[in-house]
């Protein structure tokens, strides 16, 4: 039924009444509240276990903000759908997103995780071990993403996930399109960037970079895009042709 106010004229007949300014405001307030409640429900739908909560706490303490559960669950889903054997993550932090990815990947799959901070990677190794993954399932590379990504193999990966420097997202996309196979998935965290992307008045460099990324992904005919409201926004696309 379309939104609005209705009067029952009989057991099967409804007449739409005109909306007053007060009714519009009330509906908008109710909708915002409902959306927030639904977002929180979705974030809790696939919850974090103790291993993930511990890794998230360590990351937060160091300023390596982890993905929220809604994003993590989506990453696990992508990896499982692809039966992913080779995944790259840019900005691995302290291991939260890596655990989600590994839990969805093929049991023989290898996660390549890139991060600029050696301490983040030390804690990521700890998190992977606590989650039960042997060292052979991960390849951790410490360095600048834009120095490391060009050294990785063309079309050699099922999934590329990016959650690092926002102003470099456009460059990550260029590399990710090269790295992922046809039928693979590219994903970016913080695609709504603290609700700033949707507000055209927000013109800081990070917001502009994330906004432009969304436009590029949407307009690239090699990609089939989708934007999820999970976490702080998750932009994903399937590469349908080289």
Q: Who contacts 190 (Cβ-Cβ below 8 Å, separation ≥6)?
A: 163, 166, 210, 231, 232, 233
C-alpha span between 85 and 157 (Å, rounded): 8
Overall number of domains in the chain? 2
Q: Are residues 109 and 181 in the same domain?
A: yes
The domain of 196 spans 50-239
User: Would 11 be classed as within a structural domain?
Assistant: no
Q: Are residues 71 and 188 in the same domain?
A: yes
User: Would 205 be classed as within a structural domain?
Assistant: yes
Q: What pLDDT is attached to residue 22? A: 55
Q: What pLDDT is attached to residue 216? A: 98
Q: Are residues 30 and 136 in the same domain?
A: no
C-alpha span between 121 and 114 (Å, rounded): 9
Q: Are residues 25 and 139 in the same domain?
A: no
Quick one: average pLDDT of 134-157? 98
User: Would 9 be classed as within a structural domain?
Assistant: no
Q: What pLDDT is attached to residue 2? A: 41
CATH of the domain at 185: 3.40.50.150
CB 112 within 8 A of CB 89: yes
Q: What pLDDT is attached to residue 32? A: 75
Q: pLDDT tens for residues 49-62?
A: 999 999 999 999 99
Rounded to whole angstroms, the maximal C-alpha distance in the chain is 70
Tokens 């990351």 correspond to 59
Residue 139 has pLDDT above 90, yes or no: yes
Q: Are residues 80 and 143 in the same domain?
A: yes
Q: What pLDDT is attached to residue 121? A: 98
Q: pLDDT tens for residues 8-47?
A: 445 444 444 454 555 444 566 667 778 899 999 999 999 9
C-alpha span between 170 and 154 (Å, rounded): 18
User: Would 229 be classed as within a structural domain?
Assistant: yes
CB 30 within 8 A of CB 22: no
Q: What pLDDT is attached to residue 192? A: 98
Q: Are residues 38 and 85 in the same domain?
A: no
Q: Are residues 32 and 142 in the same domain?
A: no
Q: pLDDT tens for residues 59-88?
A: 999 999 999 999 999 999 999 999 999 999
Q: Are residues 156 and 199 in the same domain?
A: yes
CA distances in angstroms from 62 to 4, 105, 140, listed in the order given: 48, 27, 18
User: Would 10 be classed as within a structural domain?
Assistant: no
Q: Are residues 54 and 90 in the same domain?
A: yes
Q: pLDDT tens for residues 172-230?
A: 999 999 999 999 999 999 999 999 999 999 999 999 999 999 999 999 999 999 999 99
Q: Are residues 26 and 127 in the same domain?
A: no
Confidence band of 4 (pLDDT split at 50, 70, 90): very low
Q: Are residues 36 and 56 in the same domain?
A: no
Q: Are residues 121 and 28 in the same domain?
A: no
Question: Secondary structure of 171-205 in the HEC alphabet?
Answer: HHHHHHHHHEEEEEEEEEECCCCCCCCCCCCCCCH
User: Would 8 be classed as within a structural domain?
Assistant: no
């Amino acid at each position: 039924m379309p939104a609005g106010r209705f009067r029952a004229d009989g057991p099967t007949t409804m007449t739409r009444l005109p909306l007053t300014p007060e009714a519009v405001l009330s509906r908008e307030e109710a909708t915002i509240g409902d959306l927030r409640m639904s977002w929180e429900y979705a974030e809790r739908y696939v919850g974090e276990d103790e291993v993930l909560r511990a890794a998230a706490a360590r990351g937060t303490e160091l300023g390596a903000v982890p993905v929220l559960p809604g994003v993590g669950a989506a990453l696990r889903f992508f990896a499982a759908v692809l039966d992913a054997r080779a995944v790259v993550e840019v900005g691995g932090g302290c291991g939260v997103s890596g655990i989600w990815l590994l839990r969805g990947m093929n049991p023989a799959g290898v996660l390549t995780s890139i991060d600029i901070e050696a301490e983040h990677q030390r804690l990521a190794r700890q998190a992977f071990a606590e989650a039960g993954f042997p060292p052979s399932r991960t390849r951790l590379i410490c360095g600048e993403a834009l120095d490391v990504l060009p050294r990785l193999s063309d079309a050699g990966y099922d999934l590329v996930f990016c959650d690092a420097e926002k102003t470099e997202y456009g460059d990550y996309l260029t590399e990710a399109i090269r790295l992922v196979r046809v039928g693979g998935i590219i994903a970016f965290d913080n695609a709504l960037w603290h609700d700033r992307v949707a507000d055209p008045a927000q013109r800081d460099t990070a917001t502009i970079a994330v906004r432009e990324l969304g436009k590029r992904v949407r307009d690239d005919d090699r990609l089939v895009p989708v934007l999820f409201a999970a976490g702080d926004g998750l932009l994903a696309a399937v590469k349908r042709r080289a």
